[in-house]
Structure 1
Amino acid sequence: MQDSARVADEVDLAIVNCLQLQPRASWTLVGEALDLDPVTVARRWQRLSSAGIAWVSGRATGQGRPESCLAVVELSCSAAETLAIAERVTELPHVLSVEHTSGPRSLTILVEVRDLAFLSRFLLESVGSIRGVVATSSHAVTKVYSMGDHWQLHVLDVAQRAVMARAPHPRVDGLTSEQTDLSRPYDPVDRRLVLLLGEDGRMPVASLAARAGLSESTVRRRLADLVNNGRVVLRCDMALPDSGWPVISWLWAYADASDVDSIATKLRRLPGIRVCWRISGGQPNLMLALTTHSLHELSAVEARLAVEVPRMSILDRSMVLRSIKRMGRELDLDGRSIRSVPLDIWADPAGRP
């Protein structure tokens, strides 16, 4: 049974929603949006983050290379070894997320790779050598229409959202090539800052400077470049059971190539669509994550999809039984953050320096 003092209330949800819009917003701005004292906002956030209920993280947008991409990897595992495999995969620096899923795939993981050759090495050297992994299947994400980074609680009203829109650094999604500066690779300073933001996306500039061994002016300039050019993704996450949206299911779908973009545009507008990707590597060319309030809503959501996007066929589906790692955070059985796991996507896939 959950400790009632740790359960998020409506004010907590509103604070999280503010940070989903502007992850590094000042408490003064959030307080203005919610008509709360900034000290109260900061105290509530400290309680949420200390309990692992909500957190802000940062990660690099690819590797500064046009050919870098996300990839979904499905692992078929020996039943007796699945948990041990999940724990080992969680530690791999290229793995963004790990989920225990229903159906034939024991684990579904999301990885960041610099190119397809790197994905091959990752599968053969990092994953293929793990005892108990029976088979792997992979899909490259060729276009991101929406991501968990974009998903929001939608508890703020129009006036509150307008206040948050006044933040000095408007958020850039940083997940599509049109929005991201891929003209130069990340240098060692960028990498140090990105890894620190992975620990805490709201880490103060003074702390970032001290940890990175840089001046505060340098950190401010570099941070502005990373955020404003979409080279780092800042994201406010929340334990799904505490958010009121505890159920995630994945759908693998197919649509004619000429229809995919228009169908994805419709899908993005539907409530509960947490992820929408165009994928390559098999018969499905669309992959969706649905978030619902309960298991009973799933059939209703799928029925609505059939009406809204009749030209899309659902080929397969699975349910997330447990989220083990989400965007660099290891989660407990309640979906709450236990610790950050560095997303050092520049590391060698076999663990060599």
Structure 2
Amino acid sequence: MLRGVAGLHGWPGRTDALDPDQVTALRPAPPAPLQTPPTRADNALLAALARDGRAPLPALAAATGWSETTVRRRLDELCRGNVLYFDVEIEPALLGYHAEAMMWLTVAPSALSATTRALATHPQIAYAAATTGPANIAASVICRDLNELYEYIAGDIGSLDGVASVETAPVVRRVKAGGTLLVT
């Protein structure tokens, strides 16, 4: 991957049902300087959260050997400093999107920037990145159904200047989405 170009903060389709004020209300506050930068002592806390992002304070206190008050205070500081953030994975089918695909585009180098800027505006793009190799853009696409996926490929992608070829592979089943995979 050379550069992430779309969906860097999650799939925009997750928030389509919200008005701009609601989206703004959900955005985290700008990062604040940390009083204490992350240390090795934070590893137990972060590892416990990687295993279960919904772990209650008593479980986090047990994992770290800290008091619940210390855990709560440290979580607040790490969140305010943008070291730690919580994200929600939503199954697209729950929002009415039943067709997912991976897409690899081969784009003329002179059209690469224009194409990635265009993809960043497409609500169907959950994530896209400029890559190396024969296909120089990789993207994750989410559509309501296969007909919409077809129309997106044929119309929206097909109309982009400089796109020489598109390879598409439907996502039939997802074993593990984004996030840390821990071996226990």
| In structure 2, C-alpha distance between the alignment counterparts of 1:209 and 1:258, rounded to whole Å | 54
Matched, 1:160 2:11: no
The answer to whether residue 90 in structure 2 is matched with residue 245 in structure 1 is no
Identify unmatched segments of 5+ residues in structure 2.
32-36
Q: How many residues align?
A: 176
Moved over 4 A (4+): none
Using the alignment, how far apart are the partners of 1:342 and 1:209 within structure 2? 20
8 Å CA contact 2:108, 2:164 repeated in 1: no
Counterpart of 2:18 in structure 1: which amino acid? L
Q: Residues 343, 230 of structure 1: CA spacing in aligned structure 2 closer, same or farther, 3 A cutoff?
A: farther
Mapped contact 1:201–1:235 kept (Cα < 8 A): no
Structure 1's 262 and 215: CA in aligned 2 closer, same or farther, altered over 3 A?
farther
Match of 1:321 in 2: 172
Identity %: 22
1:150 is the counterpart of 2:6: no
Q: Give a deviation string over 1:58-78, Cα, whole Å, max 9, x none.
A: xxxxxxxxxxxxxxxxxxxxx
How has the CA–CA distance of structure 1 residues 156 and 191 changed in structure 2, closer, same or farther, with 3 Å as cutoff?
same
- Give the Cα–Cα distance (whole angstroms) in 1 for the partners of residues 109 and 70 of structure 2: 45
TM-score in terms of structure 1 length:
0.43
- Equivalent residue for 2:151? 300
Judging by fraction of residues, say which structure has more strand: 1
CA RMSD of aligned residues (A): 3.1
C-alpha distance in structure 1 between counterparts of 2:82 and 2:90, whole Å? 22
Ranked by relative contact order (alpha carbons within 8 Å, sequence separation 6 or more), the top structure is 2
Q: What is the letter of the counterpart of residue 107 of structure 2?
A: A
Alignment gaps of 5+ in structure 1: 1-140, 173-183, 330-340, 345-353
Q: 1:269 to 1:343 in 2, by over 3 A?
A: farther
Aligned-residue offset at 1:310 = 1.9
Confirm or deny: 8 A CA contact 1:328 1:342 kept in the other structure.
no
Q: Does 1:342 align with 2:174?
A: no
Supply the distance in 1 between the matched residues of 2:42 and 2:26 (Cα, whole angstroms). Answer: 27
